[in-house]
Structure 1
Amino acid sequence: MVNPQTFRDQFLKRLDNKLHLEELFNYIPDAHFFAKDAQGRFINISQTWMDVRAISKEEDIIGKTDFDIHPKDLAQQYVAEDQRVMQSAKPLPNQVWLVPDRHGNLKWYLCSKIPLFGDGGKVIGVAGVLRDIKVAGSEFQSYQELDKVIAYVLEHYRERIQISDLADLIFLSVSQFDRKFKKLYQITPQKYILRVRINAACQSLTRTEKRISEIALESGFYDQSYFTKQFVNLMGISPSEYRKKFKQSETIS
């Protein structure tokens, strides 16, 4: 197995000297930094990013991919965007993403990425910065307007949530609310609620011994078969398979 330090150093030596990774911080200050090679393997990460994901040392992440540390559906989207940046060879600033924190809770981040060039101008990787939308402050007023909605879903995902009730929170019609949410977050309100519920279920599956039927109910699903179907659609495996696969590597906090 390749030594993580050697693996990273070999990649960094290939970078075009005209491009410095620090350049990315010109987009957004005080952000969480990462860099990957063309195969999606992490080459470099900031300490702040490690803190968000509760990674104790670089050796635990260098050489790994998003599929090693994130749910399948989220990893697929992160990687797809990386490929888009590398294929276009152009920066892609301020994209909105859901990212799990150290406790597995989903938070909204703004992500900016740039391609990394090697000898001869060939794209050999991608680098990015993440910034919590709430920290972005007045720069992103439109996102702040939906804070009430995000907070409500995170607090009430176990209950039945009507889209009309979410729209009422910010005094919009259902159609206006739906358009605004999709424009800002590139996801429908319904799919966001589903993701929050599935994420909550993932935490219970790996951190408790509760029955799957109980977890389904506590996560906002009133039909276990529907829960299982949606879980497979998002995670790629069944709830029981997910528990078996990740139970050993998760620490109950």
Structure 2
Amino acid sequence: MTAQRDTPGPPGADHRLPGGWPAEALAPALLGLLGEAADVMFCAKDADGRYVAVNDAFVQRTGRRSRREVVGRTAAELFVEQLAERYAEQDDRVLRTGEPLRHELELIRREGGAPGWYLTTKLPVRDGAGVVLGLVSISQDLRAADAADPALQGLSRVVELVHARLAEPLRTADLAAAADCSTAVLERRVRRVFGLSPQQLVLRARIDRATDLLTTTDAPLADVATACGFYDQPSFTRQFARLAGETPGQFRRRGR
């Protein structure tokens, strides 16, 4: 895999980075660096959806033992059906439109089976003529962004409000009022501390509560949906499946 130009240019053009480096010289170093990342999953796919490069964190995500067992395969060959379908939908959007997918919140099972929150970004890879050849993707582990983070400081009231009113509608304006700041300031602060938007923070808290109820109680799914602030069970199921790649019922069975 070679580095692509930031903007399309004529085939054969010598694109150089600041400092005079040819862009192609940077690709091996970047791939090596991503290969060492422990809290970031990285992969690259061709236009047919086959993995052409992955790091060890991504290999662990698939449950395989080496990159060799992952490269050349598709998501359908590595993940459960619901996850594979969601990844294929995301990839198709990037490959078809050429537009990036940024900061997609996802609930992913880490090595050992415990679920964790990630932010996924996917960018198209183009050739010198601007034709989309495939995509690259990173998923950042958000495990450090929790209510115990000392960086919260003034956001502690926001976190308390979210957890106290999970079963109620919560607007960004409500959160800003709790933080005694404007919605714009709140947006910046929440993104800096959590890596999320305010509404993603609320959704994460609701799904976290749901995963706890699903694995520690026998409460009916409709009751779980209500307790976690979802309009009804179907909307809860759709939202949960979109984020986790499996329905609440499937998550409950696998969690046990």
**Please, what TM-score do these two structures have when normalized by structure 2?**
0.52
Partner of 1:64: 75
Are 2:239 and 1:234 aligned?
yes
Of residues 95, 102, 109 in structure 2, which corresponds to 1:83?
A: 95
Q: Secondary structure at the match of 1:128?
A: strand
Q: Secondary structure at the match of 2:180?
A: coil
1:54–1:122 distance in 2 versus 1, CA, 3 Å:
closer
Which sits farther off after the overlay, 35-44 or 196-205?
Answer: 196-205
Q: CA deviation at 1:115?
A: 1.0
Distance 1:146 1:230 in 2: 32
Count of aligned pairs: 214
Aligned residues of 1:117 and 1:125 also touching (Cα < 8 A): no
Distance 1:232 1:196 in 2: 16
Q: CA deviation at 1:82?
A: 3.0
List alignment gaps of at least 5 residues for structure 1. Answer: 1-14, 137-142
Partner of 2:168: 160
Aligned residues of 2:158 and 2:175 also touching (Cα < 8 A): no
User: 1:76-155, aligned counterparts within 5 Å?
Assistant: 78-79=90-91, 82-83=94-95, 87-88=97-98, 95-101=102-108, 102=110, 103-107=114-118, 109=119, 111=121, 113-115=123-125, 123-132=132-141, 148=156, 151-152=159-160, 155=163
One-letter identity of the residue aligned with 2:94: D
Query: For each residue in 1:134-155, what CA deviation from the matched residue of structure 2 results, as whole angstroms up to 9, or x when unmatched?
Result: 879xxxxxx9899658855775
One-letter identity of the residue aligned with 1:99: E
Distance 1:168 1:105 in 2: 29
Greater fraction helix = 1
Aligned residues of 1:157 and 1:193 also touching (Cα < 8 A): no
Query: For each residue in 1:93-118, what CA deviation from the matched residue of structure 2 results, as whole angstroms up to 9, or x when unmatched?
Result: 9x3231324233434x3636351659
1:67–1:232 distance in 2 versus 1, CA, 3 Å:
same
1:113–1:236 distance in 2 versus 1, CA, 3 Å:
closer
Distance 2:124 2:153 in 1: 28
Q: CA deviation at 1:24?
A: 5.6
Aligned residues of 2:117 and 2:142 also touching (Cα < 8 A): no
Q: CA deviation at 1:167?
A: 0.9
Distance 2:181 2:165 in 1: 21
Aligned residues of 1:115 and 1:127 also touching (Cα < 8 A): yes
One-letter identity of the residue aligned with 1:106: W
Distance 2:55 2:162 in 1: 28
List alignment gaps of at least 5 residues for structure 2. Answer: 4-23, 146-150
Aligned residues of 2:44 and 2:54 also touching (Cα < 8 A): yes
One-letter identity of the residue aligned with 1:38: A
Distance 1:26 1:196 in 2: 32
Q: Secondary structure at the match of 1:36?
A: strand
Q: Secondary structure at the match of 1:130?
A: strand
Distance 1:37 1:146 in 2: 44
- Which structure has the larger Rg over C-alpha atoms? 2
Aligned residues of 1:24 and 1:128 also touching (Cα < 8 A): no
Q: Secondary structure at the match of 1:172?
A: coil
Q: Secondary structure at the match of 1:96?
A: strand
